[in-house]
């Protein structure tokens, strides 16, 4: 019984769910330049947590056959959770997430439904289509910042809109980079990544373009006067990381280089996000 309970927790990747919820809360703080009501904070967190959980379960449902071979210890292939139970579990989280968004406002409800549809379509079919699938993943990664801003401010926040664009570009670069790492496995699974369809060298150059585009977008908050000085050192560290790793990837688009870059890019993205939240919340001044 305890083992099954743990399996139901593991399948939703709770750390991922919490991170998405926190991203929404921080976005609400920055957009409002203050602390929203507990009601809005709780519903924002719940929406992000529940929809991320639903997406994780849906992913494992559609990856069942692959995981039987590559990851038999996971909750579904190990038999700890039945596939029929996974469907009900995913549906539960989907309903909770969409209902929570509806209680915030109609704009948030629209974004939540769009996120659910896109993540489901990606897991069911679109991940096979390379760059299109990469764009779909990146849309979902960028969405919490838009969602948080719209939850507290009908017009949204220009700073968070900029962060969303930067997150979309950087994550797309990371998804292309992941394709370099997973070439052999993706061939078996029939996934047409950029690295497979155009080669590793081209994929490395394309990732380079996406990373540097994200860096360029990151200068906009400075030029538009949307942040205070603490943004600069954190953003500078992020920039340096992106540039160095982008150059490394172009020079050596190998599996080992891509693996290292893929991991470090998460740190660069975190620094850029931290710079935006700290630099954009002028209540700290």
pLDDT in tens, 62-91: 888 777 766 788 899 898 889 999 999 999
Q: Answer yes or no: do 163 and 284 share one domain.
A: yes
d(CA 123, CA 57): 10
Q: Count other C-beta atoms under 10 Å from residue 131's C-beta.
A: 18
d(CA 32, CA 282): 10
pLDDT at 256 over 60: yes
Residue 173 falls inside a structural domain: yes
Q: Answer yes or no: do 18 and 138 share one domain.
A: yes
Q: Answer yes or no: do 172 and 136 share one domain.
A: no
Residue 125 falls inside a structural domain: yes
Tokens of 31: 């957009």
The pTM of the full predicted model, rounded to 2 decimals, is 0.89
| Owning domain of residue 30 | 1-147
d(CA 270, CA 274): 6
Q: Answer yes or no: do 131 and 173 share one domain.
A: no
The CATH number of whichever domain residue 120 belongs to comes to 1.10.357.140
Tens digits of per-residue pLDDT, 160-217? Answer: 999 999 999 999 999 999 889 878 777 767 788 899 999 999 999 999 999 999 999 9
Residue 162 falls inside a structural domain: yes
Q: Answer yes or no: do 1 and 139 share one domain.
A: yes
Q: Answer yes or no: do 27 and 107 share one domain.
A: yes
> Among 147, 174, 198, where does a domain finish?
147
Q: In total, how many domains does the chain have?
A: 2
Percentage of the chain modeled with pLDDT above 70: 98
> Among 111, 127, 147, where does a domain finish?
147
Which class for 125: exposed (0-12), middle (13-18), buried (19 or more C-beta within 10 A)? exposed
User: Tokens 């609400």 belong to which residue?
Assistant: 28
Please choose, from the candidates 261, 50, 72, the residue with its C-alpha nearest in 3D space to the C-alpha of residue 174: 261
d(CA 8, CA 80): 8
User: Tokens 């801003």 belong to which residue?
Assistant: 149
Q: Answer yes or no: do 224 and 272 share one domain.
A: yes
Contact indicator for 185, 259 with CB cutoff of 8 Å? no
Q: Answer yes or no: do 57 and 194 share one domain.
A: no
Confidence at 127, pLDDT banded by 50, 70, 90? confident
d(CA 28, CA 138): 20
3 state DSSP class of 105: coil
Q: Answer yes or no: do 218 and 119 share one domain.
A: no
pLDDT in the model for residue 283: 57
Residue 71 falls inside a structural domain: yes
Q: Answer yes or no: do 163 and 110 share one domain.
A: no
Residue 152 falls inside a structural domain: no
Q: Answer yes or no: do 196 and 107 share one domain.
A: no
User: Tokens 């006067």 belong to which residue?
Assistant: 225
Residue 52 falls inside a structural domain: yes
Q: Answer yes or no: do 17 and 123 share one domain.
A: yes
The CATH number of whichever domain residue 248 belongs to comes to 1.20.120
Tokens of 7: 């399996």
Residue 99 falls inside a structural domain: yes
Please choose, from the candidates 49, 44, 45, the residue with its C-alpha nearest in 3D space to the C-alpha of residue 17: 49
């Amino acid at each position: 019984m305890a083992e099954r309970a743990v399996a139901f927790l593991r399948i939703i990747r709770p750390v991922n769910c919490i991170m998405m919820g926190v991203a929404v809360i921080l976005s609400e703080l920055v957009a409002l330049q203050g602390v929203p009501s507990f009601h809005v904070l709780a519903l924002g967190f719940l929406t992000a947590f529940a929809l991320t959980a639903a997406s994780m379960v849906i992913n494992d449902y559609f990856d069942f056959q692959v995981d039987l071979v590559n990851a038999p210890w996971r909750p579904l292939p190990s038999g700890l959770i039945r596939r029929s139970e996974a469907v009900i579990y995913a549906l539960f989280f989907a309903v909770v997430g969409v209902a929570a968004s509806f209680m915030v406002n109609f704009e948030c409800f629209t974004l939540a439904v769009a996120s659910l549809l896109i993540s489901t379509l990606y897991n069911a079919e679109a991940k096979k289509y390379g760059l299109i699938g990469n764009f779909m993943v990146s849309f979902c990664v960028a969405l919490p910042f838009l969602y948080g801003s719209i939850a507290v401010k009908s017009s949204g926040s220009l700073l968070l809109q900029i962060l969303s664009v930067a997150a979309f570009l950087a994550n797309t670069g990371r998804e292309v980079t992941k394709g370099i790492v997973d070439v052999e496995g993706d061939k078996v699974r029939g996934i047409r990544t950029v690295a497979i369809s155009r080669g590793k060298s081209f994929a490395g150059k394309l990732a380079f373009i996406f990373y540097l585009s994200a860096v360029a977008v990151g200068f906009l908050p400075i030029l538009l006067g949307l942040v205070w000085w603490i943004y600069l050192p954190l953003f500078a560290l992020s920039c340096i990381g992106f540039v160095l790793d982008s150059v490394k990837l172009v020079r050596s688009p190998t599996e080992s280089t891509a693996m290292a870059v893929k991991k470090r890019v998460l740190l660069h993205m975190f620094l850029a996000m931290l710079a935006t939240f700290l630099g954009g919340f002028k209540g700290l001044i």
